[in-house]
Amino acid sequence: MKKIFAGCALAALATSSAYAQSTGSTAIEQTPEIVVTGTRATSGVGGVIIPDVPKTRSIITQEQISRASAGQSILQVINQIPGVNYTNSDPYGSSGGNLRIRGFPGNRIAFLWDGLPLNDTGNYAIFGNQTMDSELIDQVSVNLGTTDVDSPTPSAAGGVVSYKTILPTADFGAFAQGSIGDFHYGRISAMVNTGEIGNTGIRGFVQASDQHYNKFRGPGTLLKDQFNFRLYKSLASNGDFISIAGHYNRNRNVFYNNGLASDFAANRYFDYNAQCGRDPATAGVADNDGAATTTNTTVPGVAPSLCTNYYQLRINPSNTANLRGSMRYTLSDHFILTVDPGYQYTLANGGGTAVVQENDTRLRGASTLAGVDLNGDGDRLDSVRLYTPNTTRTNRYTLLSSLIWQVSDSQRLRVAYTFDRGEHRQTGQYGYIDLSGKPLDVFGGKHDLNARVVTADGLALNGRNRYSIAMLNQISGEYFGKFLNDKLTLTAGLRAPFFERKLNQLCYTANTQAATLFGGTLASGGTSVTSGNPYCTTSAVGVPATAIAPFKKTIKYHPLLPSAGVSFDPIQSTSVYASYGRNFSAPSTDNLYRSPTINPKGETTNAYEAGLRYRSRIVQAQVSAYYTDYKNRIVSATDADPASPTFGTSIDRNVGSASAKGFDGQIAVQPIRQLVLSSFLSYTKTKIDNDIVGAGGAVLVYTGGKQFVETPKWQYGGRAEVNLDPFSVAASVKHVGTRYSTDDNGRGAGGVQLGSIAGIQGVIAGDGHTSGYTTVDLDGRVNLGKFGLGRTYLSVSVINLFDKYYFGNISTTNTLAAGPRYSVGAPRTVQGTIRVGF
């Protein structure tokens, strides 16, 4: 068995039964059964694998991934896994969406590419529109509520989603495919597999794609370009290998406008404005781009004030790049070393606009001048609209390493070290816009000097100026053992992350909360600045009395996170299992910069689960029950306590304990070769234990006993696929139950149920919850290879077949009065693809 174990990693990686994790986690969990037998029980049924590990995990392989619409985010694919709800913002995935698993939001879930982290280092956000093209993903794995011992993230309280890159083929091959669809959709993708290059043993692939389409509501386009490659070399017949992969993604997207329920009641396809009127620059006149009048504007009938919702200013440009290395090397018959280094670069912002007075104190700075002539009319009397993006640039360096010791034929030990450093630069250099309202540069004044707004003393006008470092040094250990003729599996692990956030606020800011938290020094002089017009300058001259001076702060976290699992196979193909895991989530960068009362210990969870699974050539099935308790759960709230120094502002508060419990079920059946059936069911019951209480002891939001926002109690659905070669057709259905859009579940003062708000019948009930919905997707394929056309097929997909109108994403709030906002789900969308390969 020692020799089998020493050679298992490469063989496992070469089959669809490999797990989408780090090289170390894959190696320790692989069993000789996978390598030696290669049975259908390990390779799944109809693209669904339920692995035999002591935790709840589900895998979807390329067999099912390939049936998704071309260009779609991999997160949309996992919507067929119980407990998972991903609400896409558009039919093709480039606008991103929201992910929840068992009540945990996306920023509490580790999102990994071949084991390396993709969550934002500052706020842990997941960006589904920046993932690798789905034709290159071998499989996607979901841990429901648990993590792996080397998970490289300080915010994995709710589980792990990890996708795995395909291996280059041993033989030369290529494909090209083109897609068209509704909303002027167009996409091309091409890939070349080199096969083995000479006698080097190296094989690789390169792939590129280009995608563009219009929004399904409102003006604007969504553009995405992507490039990927991988090089792979086997080092020995025992399974040792070395690999490097690269990924680059460029998005240029216009946002969808998330509106109030009343907005959609008035206009079902409410969105941003298609035109922007400007107040023409006139010498000696106080021009005003914020004016509501339509008598003096560059666009007849369109007031300049409406430009605040102009679609060209509500954009999301992003450039992301990733490099990922992996190596497995056998040191001896008993020891294996795995090393996974990685680098990530991100440059992105979320658009924005503001009207700035030419004599604003930020523009005057230390100078005695009256300000800056922003519109070039020769005076400094005007209020001029500017582009105000908050741009984030990240450089991230990651290393995962494991040393695995084969103690005996049935027992292994692993020691792992994880390093992750994210350098997070947050700036907000204002930029000029042209006469039509379009930014001169999508990144404002960050790079383009011609687009940059410069103050009278020669500095860039900045809405934000921070430099943060997120540093993780993690040591972990894991035991893996099999007993009773491999019927009993035991695992135990301990993860010890040493995580710190280094904060450096580089400018004066109108944020008294940060002063309260960090003891910042208050500046003097000047006038107050509203929350909608934050003050950021490196000069103390004219700084408002409410501003604080620049500061530095380092906050450290070092929890101990144990885990354990047991699995027993009482009869062939059947196993029962149970697991426990303690997880941790550190506060985000923004929370620490702004919130005085946040608990520096961060959020912790204890997750318990038990389950039963059956795995055979015909059936893959699993059912599990779970309970998760939270400590120090963080909720954002508007401070309504007049006695509080942060009265009227939105801050993050520790609401103490909360819980989530429920069950999941999943089954995939292939009774005959031509038919695959699968279904899933999940139930989630959540509760916040305490109300949000202000500094004076008054209840600010009645959250005690309420359910988590945007978390449906019930989800269910399934998929049926019929294959009558050369024709195949499949239909998928999913039901998402009622979700609350406010933390108080629509309750007001004293916890009394509020009256109805303006909504849409059948879409929002108006009392704090959004109605459930059911969608059906359809896909069909014709294998043209049967007609002598090589590896060629034609496919058609239909998203939301019955054109269901529903709210997908919810921008939740504490109360109905605070105005939760909604995003409409994509209407019926048809896409066709032709792929030619050889």
Residue type, 734: K
Instruction: Give the domains, in start order, of the chain with CATH numbers.
Output: 2-272+310-352+388-506+550-837 (2.40.170.20)
**Distance between CA atoms of residues 566 and 549, nearest Å:** 54
129: its two tokens:
């529109």
Long-range contacts of 805-809 (CB under 8 A, 24+ apart): 805/268, 805/760, 805/762, 805/763, 806/763, 806/771, 806/773, 806/775, 807/264, 807/763, 807/764, 807/770, 807/773, 808/87, 808/88, 808/89, 808/97, 808/98, 809/87, 809/89, 809/97, 809/98, 809/258
Confidence at residue 770, expressed as pLDDT on a 0 to 100 scale = 85
Which of 41, 7, 26 lies closest to 162 in space, CA to CA?
26
Percent of the chain with pLDDT over 90: 61
Residue ranges for the chain with pLDDT beneath 70: 1-20, 30-42, 365-369, 510-535, 537-549, 594-600, 635-653, 695, 748-767
pTM exceeds 0.75 for this model? yes
**Biggest alpha carbon–alpha carbon distance for the chain:** 91
| Phi, psi torsion values for 592, nearest 5 degrees | -75, -30
Q: Two tokens at 769?
A: 């919850």
CA distance 239 to 7: 5
Q: DSSP string covering 492-554, please?
A: EEEEEEEEEEEEEE-SEES-HHHHHHH-PPBP-SS----TTS--EES--TT--TT-B--EEEE
- Report how far residue 823's alpha carbon sits from residue 268's, in angstroms, rounded to the nearest whole number: 11
pLDDT the model gives residue 548: 66
Helix, strand, or coil here: 751? helix
Based on its alpha-carbon atoms, the radius of gyration of the chain, rounded to whole angstroms, reads: 27
Of 163, 111, 112, the C-alpha closest to 134 is 163
**Residue 451: per-residue pLDDT:** 95
Torsion of CA 367, 371, 377, 383, to 10 degrees: 170
**Sign of the CA dihedral running 79, 820, 263, 533:** negative
Burial of 331 (0-12, 13-18, 19+ CB in 10 A): exposed
Q: Which stretches of 145-220 are assigned E, i.e. beta strand?
A: 159-165, 173-181, 185-196, 202-214
399 class by beta-carbon count within 10 Å (0-12 exposed, 13-18 middle, 19+ buried): middle
Q: Which residues does 361 contact at the CB level (< 8 Å), separation at least 6?
A: 526, 535, 537, 541, 542, 543, 544
Residue 141, both tokens: 């794995």
Strands 185-196 and 173-181: antiparallel
From 581, 516, 582, select the one nearest 548 (Cα to Cα): 516
pLDDT of residue 638: 55
User: Do 275 and 305 contact (CB within 8 A), yes or no?
Assistant: no
CA–chain centroid gap for 524, Å, is 41
Q: How far apart are CA 735 and CA 774, in angstroms?
A: 4
What pLDDT, on the 0 to 100 scale, is given for residue 790? 82
Letter string b/e over residues 545-556, b meaning 16 or more CB atoms within 10 A of that residue's CB: ebbbebbebebe
Give residue 540's pLDDT: 55
Residue 249 belongs to what H/E stretch? strand 241-254
Structure tokens at 4: 């089998």
Separation between Cα atoms, residue 624 and residue 414, nearest integer Å:
27
- Identify the pLDDT of residue 29: 72
Cα 317 to Cα 303: distance, rounded to the nearest angstrom: 27
* Residue 177 · residue 833 · CB < 8 Å: yes
Q: What confidence score (pLDDT) does residue 639 get?
A: 54
Q: Determine the Cα–Cα distance for residues 529 and 534; give it in Å rounded to an integer.
A: 6
Q: Return the ∠ at Cα 542 (arms to 540 and 547), rounded to 5°.
A: 65
- Pick from 499, 561, 607: which is nearest to 101 by CA? 607
Residue type, 182: D
Residue 42: its pLDDT value, please? 65
